[in-house]
Structure 1
Amino acid sequence: MRRTDRCRWSNGEAPGGAARGATPPLPHPLGLGPRRFQEHDLEVASLAFSADDRLIATASCLKDAKLVVLDCATGKVVARQALEPGKRISACAWSPAVANGRSYTFATAAGDDLTLWTLDPFTGQLAGQKVVLGSVRREYSSLVFSLDGAWMLCGTNSGDVVAVNVQRRAVQTASPVCNGTVGALILSPDGPAPGGGVAAVAGGRDGSLSTFVLPPPGAAVGPPGASAWRELRAFALERSTNQLSLISSAQPAALTGAAFAAGQPEAVAASGADGSVAVWSTQDFTLQCRAQEPAQAGGALCCVLTQNTIISGWADGHIRCHGRAAGGGTAPPMWIIPGAHSLAHTIGVTAMRLANNGSFLLTGGVGGELRCWDMRSREMAAHMKLHADRITEVAVMADDKHVAAASEDRSWSLWDAGSEKVRTTWRTNTSLRGLAASPDKVSVVTVTTDRKIICWDVRSPEPRWTKVESHGTEAGCVASDNRGGAFATGGADCSVKVWDWQHGAEIAAGTVHTGPVTKVVFGPDDRSLVSVALDGSMAFWQLA
């Protein structure tokens, strides 16, 4: 493996040829084109750019345990230091202050150790000194220096922020800011907060965002201040006041369903286990409207979207309808079908699909029952019971006369909705997680827990083709496009894949989620695909 060259800055030059002590504007560190630094043999656990973008510190922590500082302009090594093997560097940060125009300071966190490093890039001398922790023992997750370099704030896995006096190399205070790990720390770029002290924002992995002020030396240490949120949101920080304003928000819990309205590719609905149903713009990804039900509803398990309404199925067995609004407003409740899927021992609406002509709503329940609801009267138009376990997905065939359902009882069925009679059933070796029907009226694809994708012709008892090991783990959902050319699947391996209907050939694949994918849906124009997952994320995919 080729290594980068080692360099020293001359007494009269800084990176990029600048005179020492001068700070001329420099091009982007990678302005000469992409660079590949290959100093580490096994991994890069952490990295950070200096405040002037001239240096980059990188650390590896396995057998090749070392700390390397590189010159961004040339890609050459400025300094190298061996590290203690087995301790992973979890965070790295540079101080904005440069002593005497030539001495840089940066810090690393490894487990419960904090180390302050001093670097002279002109001689390549790199020296580290551990911070005196005293009685404060934490696992550190994030670091940031104050603008004057006098303080270092350290986020921890226990939800507090530890303040270190850089000159004394000692811990001064610890303040709780969230539940769980502090995943990120930033400072207000306008310097000290009113009255002195360091104003900062902490992002917690519990979904919270909190502002707090580190008081100036000698001031009383109070609780972290002012603002805290417990949802996934994007905020703008007003520098002069350190006030936060909401830019956009997301549904903070697991997402269970997604749906487009016919002829409206510009908006998509998503249902959440936190009791929320929201409509999002697919153009600028902003929130259009949102409905929130109380905890007693048990969470939204599925949804469909129309031009004017959001219809959703809930864990309490109800079907709820909310009106669509604009500008991020609240979606008003319109009607409810109570107990739509409430049997003696099972409660919950697990799947739903709107008829192609919009005349009825097909739903499936925890108890294995299928029901059709007239959209005008909201009365039950059909009741179909065959499956012995939870309905995982339903589909309305293109003729709007036949409906299909997949179940965890290892079977799927095709029904005549008008007569409420089953036409035929098919069995698989394991539970079915999803089902989708092609617009050709005869093709159906199912996904199972043993990682198989099976394509069926409803006129034949045997599969047309089977795709084995479609995902790294079980496939969790499937959706067809609107032309019958392709279908998409999402898996517990967090990936989304697009397949050819005719032969089952893989067309495209991607992974952005960090949790199992629960729903995929094509836009009405087949130019986009939306996937949602248990990690609460929603991904927008552009299709060629």
Structure 2
Amino acid sequence: MEAMFVLDTNAGSVRRPLITSLIFGTQDGGAWLYAGTSAGDVMTINVMRTAVQLVHPATRHGVGSMIMSSSGQLLVAGGDGSLTLFSNDHMWQNMQPFCRVPGSITSLSSTPDGAALFVGTKEGSVYRVACGSFAVQSVSQGHAGPITSMGCGAGAPGLGAFAATACADGGVRLYDIQIGMLASAAHPGPSAGACLSLGLASSGPPAGELMLVTGWGDGCMRGFRHPASQPPGGGMAPVWTLPGAHATTSGCGVAAISMAHRGHLIVSGGEAGEVRVWDTATREMVQQFKQHTMRVNALSILRDDVHAITCGEDCSVKATDLPTGASRAQWQLATGPRALAVGQDQVTFVTGGRERHISVWDLRVPSPVRTLPQAHDREVDSLAFLHQGAPLLASGGGEGIVKVWDMRAGAPLAAAAAHTDQVTSLAWAPGGSCLVSGSRDGCMATWQVRA
């Protein structure tokens, strides 16, 4: 059991800002306590006198974290990305940051040998700062906003499985599922808005390259390529931009993207309910049809690359012939389905939404063939079928729970929580080696599933 005590300091004329971090001095037997504040100051507190001895401005935008160096000097990390070392027996005059990292620092740690610092930021990134040279190296870059879409794929044989994520903050990331982040895409700019949707092609010419197609709030589609030869930690510059892909008078934004299994077509759905088909090589629109009167929430291309199933906020689900745009079947639901997935047999598909249950459909039947009642405590936001081996379905709910269902029995095999907010996207890694989930909490989780 740890002992705790309360120190009611006499701040005198010092106003009481929010204390963001506390640390005792290591060279003075705990006689001094340092308090970082939301105002960006560091207060030096005399523990015996319980009084603030000194207040010194340390950084802008608040003190994010503090640690003591091996020599007993105070290292202060700021909300402006600054790192400042304070010394001189509390006579902190004209101290200047020795280093800056991109973003607002929230955490700070030193390696055991004192050779480097690891710096975490509010934007979800981790940096390594070498002591001495102060060289800054990006270790990983996460998301600072909700993950809106995700896809999994494989590169050339022997290169493993990959996951790509899109975020409401405009971030696009590519991960090797085994080793972590490989690359991040440069943000197109504030006018692009949120990255709403993403499609990941398994491979493409030249061999070993991965292609990401992303849909944005400004109605544009942007393509990125990542070569297998590129070392981890690099960037992905856009190789093409398709302006106005889904910018109409009724709505602007690319709400859903799916890529043909042969990679020759891209199918996208818009905020106004329109569905468009694009030639991957030329980026020319080869077909368009107004399938829904409201936002397209999800779409999936069947294995034949000829038919697609779409669901919209207008409470409808439709099966469409891609070359002609002709409707093959349609279903009307009580509420707008948020998620959609097609089964291994390419005849069964499932939907989920605000009603909290999962509906199982057959393309040849007008009504659900089965219902998985009360699948989640809140709305069903994501669904993904395993397409190899056992007939497994993964579902993600608004309460942050991920479940795996045995579709033969119609019963859950497992349920677990790794998220603090709704699970917005699910994808099985190639071969069913694992399941990947993305959430509004900005986190991506990898799950090992054994049937």
TM-score (norm 1): 0.70
Deviation at 1:353, TM superposition (A): 0.7
User: For each residue in 1:378-418, what CA deviation from the matched residue of structure 2 results, as whole angstroms up to 9, or x when unmatched?
Assistant: 22222121311100110011222210011111111111112
The secondary structure found in structure 2 opposite 1:296 is helix
User: For each residue in 1:289-317, what CA deviation from the matched residue of structure 2 results, as whole angstroms up to 9, or x when unmatched?
Assistant: 43321111112111112222211111111
Deviation at 1:522, TM superposition (A): 0.7
Matches within 5 A, 1:502-513: 502-513=408-419
Structure 2 Cα separation of the partners of residues 150 and 190 of structure 1:
18
Deviation at 1:229, TM superposition (A): 3.1
The secondary structure found in structure 2 opposite 1:301 is strand
Structure 1 Cα separation of the partners of residues 57 and 385 of structure 2:
51
The answer to whether structure 1 residue 257 and structure 2 residue 149 are counterparts is yes
Structure 2 partner of 1:454: 359
- Contact 1:322/1:335 (<8 A) preserved: yes
Cα distance, 1:477–1:181 mapped onto 2, change above 3 Å: farther
Instruction: State the one-letter code of the partner of 1:507.
Output: L
Structure 2 partner of 1:355: 260
Deviation at 1:444, TM superposition (A): 0.7
Q: Which runs of 5+ in 1 are unaligned?
A: 1-55, 58-68, 70-106, 109-114, 117-129
Structure 2 partner of 1:464: 369
- Contact 1:399/1:441 (<8 A) preserved: no
Deviation at 1:144, TM superposition (A): 2.0
Instruction: State the one-letter code of the partner of 2:436.
Output: V
Structure 1 partner of 2:33: 152
Q: How many residues align?
A: 412
Structure 1 Cα separation of the partners of residues 60 and 426 of structure 2:
33
The secondary structure found in structure 1 opposite 2:305 is coil
The secondary structure found in structure 1 opposite 2:173 is strand
Out of 73, 85, 108, the residue aligned to residue 213 of structure 1 is: 85
Structure 1 partner of 2:283: 378
Cα distance, 1:430–1:220 mapped onto 2, change above 3 Å: same
TM-score (norm 2): 0.83
Structure 1 partner of 2:221: 319
Matches within 5 A, 1:30-179: 56-57=1-2, 69=3, 115-116=6-7, 130-134=8-12, 135-148=14-27, 149-156=30-37, 161-171=42-52, 172-173=54-55, 175=57, 177=59, 179=61
Out of 301, 308, 328, the residue aligned to residue 423 of structure 1 is: 328
Structure 1 partner of 2:170: 275
User: For each residue in 1:106-157, what CA deviation from the matched residue of structure 2 results, as whole angstroms up to 9, or x when unmatched?
Assistant: x65xxxxxx24xxxxxxxxxxxxx2223333234454222222233233456
Deviation at 1:159, TM superposition (A): 6.2
The secondary structure found in structure 1 opposite 2:191 is helix
Structure 2 partner of 1:191: 71
User: For each residue in 1:155-201, what CA deviation from the matched residue of structure 2 results, as whole angstroms up to 9, or x when unmatched?
Assistant: 4566655432324322232646464784xx341441244xxxx2234
Cα distance, 1:501–1:168 mapped onto 2, change above 3 Å: same
Structure 2 partner of 1:200: 76
Structure 2 Cα separation of the partners of residues 136 and 222 of structure 1:
23
Greater relative contact order (CA < 8 Å, ≥ 6 in sequence):
2
Structure 1 Cα separation of the partners of residues 263 and 143 of structure 2:
28
Instruction: State the one-letter code of the partner of 2:212.
Output: I
Structure 2 Cα separation of the partners of residues 386 and 286 of structure 1:
37
Structure 2 Cα separation of the partners of residues 536 and 425 of structure 1:
34
Structure 2 Cα separation of the partners of residues 144 and 169 of structure 1:
15
Over aligned residue pairs, what C-alpha RMSD do you find? 2.6
- Contact 1:190/1:240 (<8 A) preserved: no
Cα distance, 1:503–1:402 mapped onto 2, change above 3 Å: farther
The secondary structure found in structure 2 opposite 1:286 is strand
- Contact 2:21/2:66 (<8 A) preserved: no
Identity of aligned residues (%): 30
- Contact 1:350/1:366 (<8 A) preserved: yes
Out of 112, 122, 139, the residue aligned to residue 247 of structure 1 is: 139
Q: Which has the larger radius of gyration?
A: 1
